[in-house]
Amino acid sequence: MASHIVGYPRMGPKRELKFALESFWDNKSSAEDLQKVAADLRSSIWQQMAAAGIKYIPSNTFSYYDQVLDATSMLGAVPPRYGWNGGEIGFDTYFSMARGNASVPAMEMTKWFDTNYHFIVPELGPDVNFSYASHKAVDEYKEAKALGVDTIPVLIGPVSYLLLSKPAKGVEKTFSLLSLLPKILPIYKEVIAELKAAGALWIQFDEPTLVLDLDSHQLQAFTAAYAELETTLSGLNVLIETYFADLTAEAYKTLTELKGVTAYGLDLVRGTQTIDLIKSNFPKGKYLFAGVVDGRNIWANDLASSLSTLQALEAVVGKDKLVVSTSCSLLHTAVDLVNETKLDDEIKSWLAFAAQKVVEVNALAKALAGQKDEAFFTANASAQASRKSSPRVTNEAVQKAAAALKGSDHRRATNVTARLDAQQKKLNLPVLPTTTIGSFPQTLELRRVRREYKANKISEDDYVKAIKEEIKKVVDLQEELDIDVLVHGEPELKLCREMIWLSTLVSNYLVLLSLLTDGCNLMGLAASSHQSSTVMLAAPNQ
């Protein structure tokens, strides 16, 4: 039975890439130094998965910033303000798009679906001259092959790329981004042809937008795109990967009818209803890459439950067509539990980071093939039972209180108009209040204090004092700028050994918090259909 990993964290088990990037951005190391760290990380990841017994190992999931920006580079879709004049896109242009430079701002960053990951939003319009400007996907496939690891090259699918984009500045907001499909498919064809020439047998297209609520025109774009690519893809096994949610019946039908596609990767952790679609109608002779190991949390998988799901799917798909996979890229979890030396054995037994999830995937594949590791499964079952019954996570009083909740408990006793009136009397906000979202920049002084506290060079009292001073600075700045709803800037540090909870914030912040405890919902301003103003409160990190 085969196994597959959708993607893997790229920062490194000890944040090697983070430190290498910061060193390069600070001009303390060269591009060659950064590339060496990246190559070592890629090699380690590929060889780790190969050693664990994974059959379908991804390549081109590594990124210096994010995979959508990598796709933008591949397509040569560089906004004119960065002064790129063609050729292979290098670090200067790449990082200018990601971070801006002294002359121009960065491209917009937004959330990757409902995760904490962010991506750089492509800026497109009818005048963009697409060109094959980054050979990263092919280069990394060849790099892995030279190490003796045959991988599945991964590309952001053409339709998802366009659906995740936005009209560039000066382009009408009503511009159809999907109208650019005929312009980008020739570049995809070039990449595919090069991968085939390099010896690739499989290719993975990530099309996560298939899980969104798409209209018929958007769904038709998938059909048109893969029909156009079918001839170029001939001779390759093609995997279309989706994740993060269920597919609608219409999206599932579109996916399973795509031309030239060999396999479908589905998130069966968050997409539990998709299982019913599979059972009712799965295309004969196609592969199902079943995402049963959760790629979005740090908890050990319930192996017995996953094995049961896989066995049910095996009866539908066929033994030789079922591949055990992760629900999505493991990018969203921590790297390796082995580095957590301060956790006790009980808690560690409940956890599985990316390295451990790779092992889980292969253990399930072997069990499905009749080679079940009884000791591994028994230990997993014990850990699952421990977590469910442990007083560290189970509070009988909380469970009883939750069970006693009624439908009416989820509704406020006062209507939104009354709450708006109460808020306005307390806060006296203008029609369009101003605020900020998220943390303020981490200053060099804050970083120094954080390092010294972590190294036990300063006391907790000194650390808290420094944090309070930083909060006062950012609050004073906001008051100077006449911001209406203040935030504290989130300077405090989360440490593994303990949480630092600040007992006092400035008076303005306490006033806002007191409103929340009084049952007045600040977000009610946004909730009211007749009220155009919005207040957003950034809470401390927890």
Q: Is the pLDDT of residue 493 over 60?
A: no
**Distance from C-alpha of 428 to C-alpha of 42, rounded to nearest angstrom:** 55
Fill in the amino acid letter for 423.
Answer: Q
Q: How far apart are CA 450 and CA 458, in angstroms?
A: 9
Q: How many CA atoms lie within 13 A of 112 on its CB side?
A: 22
Quick: pLDDT tens for 280-294. Answer: 999 999 999 999 999
Residue 534 has pLDDT above 90, yes or no: no
Mean of pLDDT over the chain: 90
**Residue 4's pLDDT band (boundaries 50, 70, 90)?**
very high
Read off the pLDDT band of 328 (50, 70, 90): very high
Q: Are 231 and 185 in contact (CB under 8 A)?
A: no
Q: Token pair for residue 74?
A: 């591949």
Query: What CATH architecture applies to the domain 2-389?
Result: Alpha-Beta Barrel (3.20)
Cβ(487)–Cβ(435) under 8 Å?
yes
Place of tokens 């769904």: 219
pLDDT above 70 (res 459): yes
Nearest to 92 by CA among 1, 31, 36, 6: 31
Q: What is the mean pLDDT of residues 60-82?
A: 98
| pLDDT over 70 at 497, yes or no | no
Contacts of 311 (CB under 8 A, 6+ apart): 368
| Domain boundary assignment for the chain | 2-389, 431-541
pTM, two decimals, is 0.80
The per-residue pLDDT for range 399-424, each reduced to its tens digit, is 899 999 988 888 888 888 999 899 89
Query: How distant, in Å, are the alpha carbons of 39, 44, 137 from that of 134?
Result: 17, 23, 8
Residue pair 302/384 in contact by the 8 Å Cβ criterion: yes
Q: pLDDT tens, 153-183? A: 999 999 999 999 999 999 999 999 999 999 9
Please tell me the predicted confidence (pLDDT) of residue 215. Answer: 96
> Cα(first)–Cα(last) distance of the chain, in Å?
42
